[in-house]
Amino acid sequence: MKRKLQKLKPILFIMAVAFIMVVLIPTTHTLAQPSFNIFGMEEGNYWVSDDGTTETVEELDPGSYYPREYWVKIYENGNWVGSEMLGISGGELKLWSIFGDDMPVAIALDSGLTIAWYPLSVGEEKTTTANDLNSSGLTLTINAKVIAYEQVTLSFDTLYAYKIRHTMTASGPAGTATGIIYGWVVPYLGFVKSADSESSDKVVSFAIGGGTITQDTDTDGDGLKDYQELIYSTDLQDPDTDDDGLTDGDEVNTHGTDPNSDDTDSDALKDGEELTLGTNPLDPDTDTDDMPDGWEVSHGLNPLVNDAGVDSDGDGLTNLEEYEHIPKRNPTNCEPYKPVLVSPSDGDSSVLLTPTLETGSFEDFEPCLYPENDLGETEWQISSSADFSDSALVFHVKSNVSLTSLTMPDLILSPNTTYYWRARFYDEADATSDWSDEATLPFSFTTVLPGETDDPNENGVPDDQEEDLDPDLDLDGDTNPDVTQGDMKCAITVVGGVQIGVKGTTPNVVSVDAVKSVNPDTVSDTQNKPDEMPLGLVSFKVTVANAGDSAEITIYLSEPAPSGAKWYKYDSINGWREYPYATFSADRTNVTLQLEDGSIEYGDTDGAANRIIVDPGGVGVASQPASSGGGGGGGGCFIATTAQGDN
């Protein structure tokens, strides 16, 4: 840009040119926070124009006008011709003063004029006003407006740049004058072109990043220059920023794909995989058959052939119909028949609180063109509503152990309540049946009355486990008797006769709803079971504030747990396993459990994010370390997770 300050006589023109020249360094929209480097304010940066003018950020001033000020010095053919002092505040770059070789202080402002900001967008404009302290009565106004985003061809690259119109107005005793200058700016490179009514110039070379990044440097050798990496927000030290098998340079310069995305067209295939397969990384459906390339590949179809009307697996549905089905079906593997529900029978009104759910046997689709598969997993749901909405689910697990029979854990179901239940099968190739209740009314059952349970008064503790509690017991040490605290439930263990109290220790625990002690000798499943359980099993049920909440529960003991004992979990679905998210106090008189609503891994046996956490466990001593996975149902590999599929 033109910087011949010593030749510019009218103060307005001096200011207009000086303002436009140095400082309007644009930004990209990908940055989360404003940064002074966005504006090019970093010592060692410089820009050279085709008229021989060089602008250099030489030093950080301690604050002549503003707490953080940068000196930008302007040289013409090696001779210093002027400087500007700039400050940064709140994402805006402000001009505070202008110096010339024959003008010690040409302009000194009482407040900074905003000449750049973060971020830029077409149509945006800002206007600021300041008074010149060196000239009585002179008021300066700058309006900067982004009027276009267009290509600019330079000696080293063709780049998209923001075109900004700068209008400077000076008002004083002698009258008012206005001047206009245009500038084209590129993120991080600053002004690459400027023009007024008389002349224009372009940047021909630069060094930014403290002088380390030039138009030629390519630190990671990926074919994308370092300055281009800044513009594209890629990693200039990693040749493949998105780890998709293509270098950043190849993505930008050859294929036109996004170097920050593994999957530019969002079809579930990485860009590099698409090139290997011959699909188009910019088109999610290369063969235009209305099925995404990634879905076709993952299901054994050819993404280069329009096979929408083909019935690949012989189940009576075309490939496209399988894709459009809700939930989606596998076009190359016949889905199994949906389960037939056996027990509890539909409408049963005397179901116990720990019923065994049973389905008929598994059957794969017989006419299938592919070999039959065995049953791999079964997904089970119990709901308080016939629509099985997420908020109504009380139980939701997928298990590869409880396949056609599942015994409900304790404390999940409530007495005298109507529930709805359903199941669906997954074969070993992960083809999914329809839900058992699809196209019909879901099966329902009603649990027994409170008087037929071990807790007739419905206070959440079996009557025979609270009769002999010490009324003055204070296990949590808060000087209040435990049995009188509304946020704590207490019981006497059926093994060892130890008094226990269960209490929420994070604010989002709304209530402790139930506590129950169980004799572990009644559990026939012995795989991974600890050798000794001196306090038996303790089941509890708590309510948290929000679905999916994490929470902490502390279990207080009237006698310390044995040294070396661990906390174990058991339920009829998942079997025995050591629980890693348990911490005993130094005196071992309490244990704190970290739990998460809806996460079986984090202690919620019902598997549903429904604000209810049901967690059965106990203090155990094992001669051999227990596996982290249980053997639910008496043996076999444990896999039970919260199901995330379509309802």
pTM above 0.85, yes or no: no
* pLDDT value for 638: 28
Q: Is the pLDDT of residue 2 over 50?
A: no
| pLDDT (mean) for 581-589 | 95
Q: How far is CA 3 from CA 52, 429, 515, in A?
A: 10, 72, 81
pLDDT value of residue 35: 53
Residue 218 contacts by C-beta under 8 Å, 6 or more apart in sequence? 224, 225, 226
- Rounded to the nearest 10°, the torsion over CA 250, 253, 256, 259 is 50
User: Each residue of 379-402: pLDDT tens digit?
Assistant: 999 999 999 999 999 999 999 989
Question: What is residue 25's predicted lDDT score, i.e. its pLDDT?
Answer: 32
Band (pLDDT 50/70/90 cuts) for residue 634 is very low
pLDDT, position 636: 30
Per-residue confidence (pLDDT) for residue 91, from 0 to 100: 79
CB atoms within 10 A of CB 468: 9
What is the pLDDT, as a whole number, of residue 31?
A: 30
Mean pLDDT, range 611-615, rounded to an integer: 93
- Tell me: pLDDT of 1 over 60: no
Average pLDDT value over all residues in the chain: 86
CA nearest to 222, candidates 257, 252, 263: 252
Statement: residue 371 has pLDDT above 80 = no
Q: Cα–Cα distance between 614 and 164 in angstroms, integer?
A: 62
Task: Quote the pLDDT of residue 89.
Answer: 80
pLDDT at 361 over 80: yes
28 pLDDT higher than 60: no
Name the H helices within 423-533.
none
In the prediction, which pLDDT does 380 show? 96
What per-residue confidence (pLDDT) applies to 6? 30
**Residue 367's pLDDT band (cuts 50, 70, 90):** low
The pLDDT confidence band at residue 67, using thresholds 50, 70 and 90, is low
pLDDT greater than 70 at residue 329: yes
Q: Does residue 626 have a pLDDT over 50?
A: no
- Give 629's pLDDT tier (boundaries 50, 70, 90): very low
Smallest Cα–Cα separation from 607: which of 619, 625, 590, 595? Answer: 595
Q: What percent of the chain has pLDDT over 90?
A: 62
Mean pLDDT of 19-32: 32
pLDDT mean over 43-52? 92
Whole-number percent of the chain with pLDDT over 70: 88
pLDDT at res. 366:
66
- Tell whether the model's pLDDT for residue 84 goes beyond 80: yes
232's enclosing H/E stretch is: helix 226-232
Residue 92, helix vs strand vs coil = strand
Q: In terms of Cα–Cα distance, which of 515, 500, 516 is closest to 555?
A: 500
- pLDDT greater at residue 380 or residue 39: 380
The greatest distance separating any two alpha carbons of the chain, rounded to the nearest whole angstrom, comes to: 102
512-538, pLDDT tens digit by residue? 999 999 999 998 889 999 999 999 999
Structure confidence by residue, pLDDT tens digits, 444-490 = 999 999 888 888 888 899 999 988 889 999 999 999 999 888 889 99
